[in-house]
Amino acid sequence: MRIATLKTSYAGDEALFDTKLQRSLLALFGLVLAVFPFVAGPYWLFMACLVAINVASATGLNILTGYTGLVSLGQAAFMGVGAYTVAILELRVGTPFPVNLLAAGATTALVGAVVGLPSLRVKGLYLAIATIGASVILHFVFANWSLTGEARGLSMPPARLFGNDLDQPFELYWVIVPITAAMILGAANLFRTRIGRAFIAIRDRDISAEVLGIPLLRYKLTSFAISSFYAGVAGGLWAYFFRVVTPESFPLINSIFYLAAIIVGGMGTILGGILGAAFMTMVPEVLKLVVGWFSPYFPDALAALAPIRTIVFGALIVGFLIFEPQGLAEIWARVRRFFHLWPFKT
């Protein structure tokens, strides 16, 4: 049983991961991620990249909704801004892909800050509707601007690094996963700074936060900008991954997907965003695998069990909300507590 962690230095006090066990588990996880592409097939690599992109975007939304308390349904449209920025830069300017990704983040941050303006007046569901309005406008722009290729969208060449085309999940894995990891690390550190704490103060009670001297205008818009930066980079990665960006690539339902991901994962925790996005992306695929097992015994299991699969996925989400309202992150926390307190029980 562990009682507490003794910290004997400022460095120890500041550390993001404060125990040796945590650090070694993290190193082990890093090792697994590094070895994974060499043992997994293209399908699992594809899924890993997709999960990583969704994790990056969900983490961005978590900063805004989970930590700052501003509900947004514009995440998919923001990803679209990032994806289009990357595609346009790649096609028209030909700048290298790291520059394009940063530009995607920056452009989306700017758009996000503008979209965030209503957050100064409205909150909760009203803000959600305002962000839906913004995504409708963005979709209209995507579908009607000649620069964005109108309804047909844009097809782009693969990312290039040192003269090599990055067009396979195996190659893109080495771009997408490290960038996502860096973004998660950035988000985790953000909430140890004045800015991040101001976000949390605004979430908990914005009037009190203002009384404490936190300028709401600046911090709410900063939160929108940072969150959109994440969405923009995730959208840029998405564009390099699929290489076709159309107005239909980022429908409103995707925004709901990300919101559901952070709710299922656990709002206001970094781990929640990761687990939620992984859960929402992987569970439908795992359910397909399960259906696959029945195919030898069940005539046309694919068609017969498809509706059941959809229902099970929905039921799982509802089940989590009922039995674990604080999300998957809380389950993980409970598992950790179990081992910390062992042999005693919580």
Partner 1 sequence: MSECWTRRGLIGLAAATSFALVQGAQAQAQDDIVLGASVPITGVFAFAGVGIHAGIQDYLKIVNDAGGVKGRKIKYVAEDTAYKVDASVAAFNKITSQEKVSLYYGDSTGFSKTINPELERRGTILMAGASFASELNDPKKYPFQFMSGPDYTEMFGILMRYIAKEKPGARIAFVYSDTEFGRDPIEPGTKLAKELGLNVVERIVTPPTSVDVSTEVLKLRRANPDYTIFHGYVLAPIPEFITQAKQMNLRSQFMGTFWSMDNSMVQRMGEAADGFMGVMPYRYYYEKDANAPMLDKIRQMRPEYQSNAYMQGFVTAMLMVEAVKRTLEAGKELNGTNLKASLNTIKDYDTGGIFGVPISIPGNSVPVGRIYRFDAKAKQMVPASDWIRL
Indicate which single residue of 1, 11, 303, 322 sits in contact with partner 1 (rule: CB under 8 A): 303
Q: Per CB under 8 A, does 171 bind partner 1?
A: no
Task: Decide whether 307 or 343 has the Cβ nearer to partner 1.
Answer: 307
Q: Tell me the three state secondary structure of residue 162.
A: coil
Task: Decide whether 211 or 315 has the Cβ nearer to partner 1.
Answer: 315
Provide, rounded to whole angstroms, the least separation between the CB of residue 270 and partner 1. Answer: 20
* Structural element, H or E, at residue 245: strand 244-245
Draw the binding track, 83-102, toward partner 1 (x: CB under 8 A; -: no contact).
--------------------
Residue with tokens 């990032």: 82
Taken as a whole, the chain contains a residue count of 346
Provide, rounded to whole angstroms, the least separation between the CB of residue 242 and partner 1. Answer: 5
Indicate which single residue of 30, 96, 178, 284 sits in contact with partner 1 (rule: CB under 8 A): 284
Task: Decide whether 289 or 318 has the Cβ nearer to partner 1.
Answer: 289
Candidate ranges 87-95, 186-194, 212-220, 243-251; the one touching partner 1 (CB under 8 A): 243-251
Indicate which single residue of 6, 11, 207, 289 sits in contact with partner 1 (rule: CB under 8 A): 289
Task: Decide whether 14 or 165 has the Cβ nearer to partner 1.
Answer: 165
Alpha carbon distance 154, 335 (integer Å): 46
Provide, rounded to whole angstroms, the least separation between the CB of residue 252 and partner 1. Answer: 12
Task: Decide whether 28 or 212 has the Cβ nearer to partner 1.
Answer: 28
Beta-carbon count within 10 A of 301 CB: 18
Single-letter amino acid, residue 273: G
Task: Decide whether 118 or 158 has the Cβ nearer to partner 1.
Answer: 158
Evaluate whether 75 touches 262 at the Cβ level (below 8 Å).
Answer: no
Burial (CB count <10 Å: 0-12, 13-18, 19+), residue 186: middle
Q: Per CB under 8 A, does 307 bind partner 1?
A: yes
83: phi > 0 → left, psi -120 to 50 → alpha, else beta; which? alpha
Beta strand 159-161 pairing with 164-166: antiparallel
Alpha carbon distance 266, 279 (integer Å): 12
Indicate which single residue of 16, 31, 182, 302 sits in contact with partner 1 (rule: CB under 8 A): 302
Interface residues for partner 1 in 46-75 (CB under 8 A)?
46-47, 50
Q: Per CB under 8 A, does 334 bind partner 1?
A: yes
Task: Decide whether 122 or 321 has the Cβ nearer to partner 1.
Answer: 321
Alpha carbon distance 232, 102 (integer Å): 9
Candidate ranges 82-90, 110-118, 217-225, 323-331; the one touching partner 1 (CB under 8 A): 323-331
Provide, rounded to whole angstroms, the least separation between the CB of residue 220 and partner 1. Answer: 31
Q: Per CB under 8 A, does 306 bind partner 1?
A: yes
Task: Decide whether 50 or 127 has the Cβ nearer to partner 1.
Answer: 50
Q: Per CB under 8 A, does 246 bind partner 1?
A: yes
Evaluate whether 236 touches 86 at the Cβ level (below 8 Å).
Answer: yes
Structure token pair of residue 157: 């060449």
* Alpha-helical regions (H) of the chain: 10-14, 20-39, 42-61, 75-88, 97-115, 124-144, 169-190, 194-204, 206-211, 216-242, 252-265, 270-294, 301-323, 328-341
Sign of CA dihedral 198, 66, 226, 96: positive
Chain residues in the site for partner 1 (CB under 8 A) = 41-43, 45-47, 50, 143, 150-153, 155, 158, 167, 169, 242-244, 246-249, 284-286, 288-290, 292-293, 300, 302-303, 306-307, 309-310, 323-324, 331, 334-335, 338
